[in-house]
Amino acid sequence: MDKAYVDWTSCPLVEVDPKRVGGRPVLKGTRMPADDILANYDYGVSIAEIAEQFRIEPAILRELLSYAERLYPAAHTV
């Protein structure tokens, strides 16, 4: 999958605040960039590992990754 640009604007789990993380799209209520979650997953880190490392509910991660997969079918299957 080309991770250079994912359009997160229609994902209800993601927000952009120019005052946080340089305006990068982040998981709502966190400072965790959505692209970083996707990059970790694409690198082979499991949902359970990402959830534990970043203290994010696995269900939220699965939903976020499913969003990316629907838009970018070449992404890993969740």
Query: For the chain, which residues make up each domain, given as ranges?
Result: 14-71
| CATH for 14-71, options being 1.10.760.10, 3.40.50.300, 3.90.1420.10, 1.10.10.10 | 1.10.10.10
The secondary structure of residue 23, as a DSSP letter, is G
Q: How far is CA 1 from CA 6, 15, 49, 64, 72, in A?
A: 10, 22, 21, 15, 7
**Residue ranges of the chain with pLDDT lower than 50?**
1-4, 76
Give residue 33's pLDDT: 95
Tell me what the pLDDT averaged over the chain comes to. 87
Give residue 78's pLDDT: 54
